[in-house]
Structure 1
Amino acid sequence: MSEYVHLCLSDLLEEDLSSQEYFNTLPDDVRQNLLLIDNITTFEELQEQARILKTKMNNNHWN
Structure 2
Amino acid sequence: MELHPQILEKDGKKEFVILTYEEYERIAETLADYDDLQELREAKNLEHDAETQSLKDVRTALGI
- TM-score if structure 2 supplies the norm length? 0.38
Bigger Rg over Cα: 2
TM-score, normalised via structure 1 length: 0.39
Write 1 or 2 for the structure with the bigger share of strand: 2
Q: Which has the higher contact order (CA 8 A, sep 6+)?
A: 1
**Higher helix residue share:** 1
